Amino acid sequence: MNRGGAETLLMNLYRNIDRSKVQFDFLTCKEGVFDSEIKELGGKVYRIPYVTEVGHRLYLKQLYLFFQQHHTYQIVHAHLDKMSGFVLQTAKKAKIPIRIAHSHNTRSEGGLVARTYKWYAGTRIVPSATHLYACSKAAASWLFQKHDRKVILLNNGVDVDRFRYCQQARQKARAEWGVNERTLVWGHVGRFNHQKNHRFLLELFHKVHQKNQNTVLVLVGEGVLKSEIEKQIKELELAQSVRLLGVRSDVHEILQGFDCFVFPSVHEGLPLTLIEAQACGLPCIISDDISEEVDMECGLIQRLSLDKAKEWERVLSFIDPSLPRKEVAYLLDRKGYNIKHQAEKIEHFYRVCMKEGHDENHNHFYANI
């Protein structure tokens, strides 16, 4: 439970549900930054080693033992994309009545062997799940394919009040980075992995920075490719112009200091960070491989092809840091991306499931919400 998109969404939901009626516990593989908050909110955090540590057979055995030892759970909600298949198959074997698969992505990561294994796991989802959830239509089509019409869409909601533009937060953030109001600040929030495409982002920044030295790139996050990115920064001689902030709990304030949000991912479900960026009125230049559903229709999203680096360079060269921020929180609220409404929706769904029970011989799917 670290600060990734799915994890942050879960915590946003958890903070906003009525925990006297619905309680979340978490089964993970490693310690995470949200663990202490989960416990403060009344939840429990359990851990078992992941399949890459102990192998396929022992992983399934540990899952089964966990569900056997915690047989009073009425709902298992899995957020592992294709790997959810093994979790839900095991939960079904252990007779957990409600089993939810939730898609947060549009493509599997890893090499051929890893992707083949994940495909195998994914074939277990539909036979094992009682309900299917997704963050977007694209994410539903990828994970559930011909069953996507039976999927419930749960928007990646945010606390719109928390992300409203704040001039004081902007000044504080830019002071931390040592930049003035005339400096053009690009920002990016995301794990250092292949999906987020940091190498493309750095090459792009390098080209623009050669023309305009008064530019800074701020990167928020950690990940397996961080050392490679640090090496690339050094090779491009950008050490004085790139700020690496690591994992932060104050992203809502950091976003205020950006002048544009650059997000060249090679694939995404529906990234929460782009909803947050729009909530604070930030112009977003993004890859057209990202679902169109991420556009909150407030004039802040510009989608570009990753095959057209020159177009990215041209667009980003003309970002004006002096332009006033738009007030768009009401638009996110209208489109259903207020986390309070999404928490009410999932809480209602859980409670209906628990009240009605479930017929084990018939997969009961709910219509789109």
Strand order in the sheet with 301-304: 242-246, 215-220, 184-189, 260-263, 284-287, 301-304
Does residue 358 carry a pLDDT above 70? Answer: no
Distances 228 to 194, 222, 250, 262, 364 between C-alpha atoms, Å: 11, 12, 25, 19, 46
33-54 pLDDT, tens per residue? 999 999 999 999 999 999 999 9
The angle that helices 112-122 and 84-93 make with each other, rounded to 10 degrees, is 30
DSSP bridge pairs for 189:
220
Contact 308, 204 (CB under 8 A): no
200-213 pLDDT, tens per residue? 999 999 999 999 99
The letter for the amino acid at 64 is Y
223-254 pLDDT, tens per residue? 999 999 999 999 999 999 999 999 998 999 99
Between CA 233 and CA 199 the distance in angstroms is 9
Local structure of residue 338 (DSSP, 8 states)? B
Does residue 363 carry a pLDDT above 60? Answer: no
Residue 348 burial (C-beta neighbours within 10 Å; 0-12, 13-18, 19+): middle
Cα three-residue angle 228-231-236, rounded to 5 degrees: 125
The angle that helices 84-93 and 56-69 make with each other, rounded to 10 degrees, is 50
114-172 pLDDT, tens per residue? 999 999 999 999 999 999 999 999 999 999 988 877 899 999 999 988 999 999 999 99
Cα three-residue angle 57-62-63, rounded to 5 degrees: 100
279-330 pLDDT, tens per residue? 999 999 999 999 889 999 989 999 999 999 999 999 999 898 888 888 887 8
Total Cβ atoms within 10 A of residue 311? 13
Does residue 364 carry a pLDDT above 60? Answer: no
Q: Which domains does the chain have, with CATH numbers?
A: 5-157+339-356 (3.40.50.2000), 167-332 (3.40.50.2000)
Distances 330 to 161, 210, 270, 276, 291 between C-alpha atoms, Å: 10, 39, 20, 13, 22
Q: What is the pLDDT of residue 357?
A: 58
Does residue 366 carry a pLDDT above 80? Answer: no
Mean pLDDT of the chain: 91
pTM (two decimals): 0.85
Q: What is the pLDDT of residue 321?
A: 84
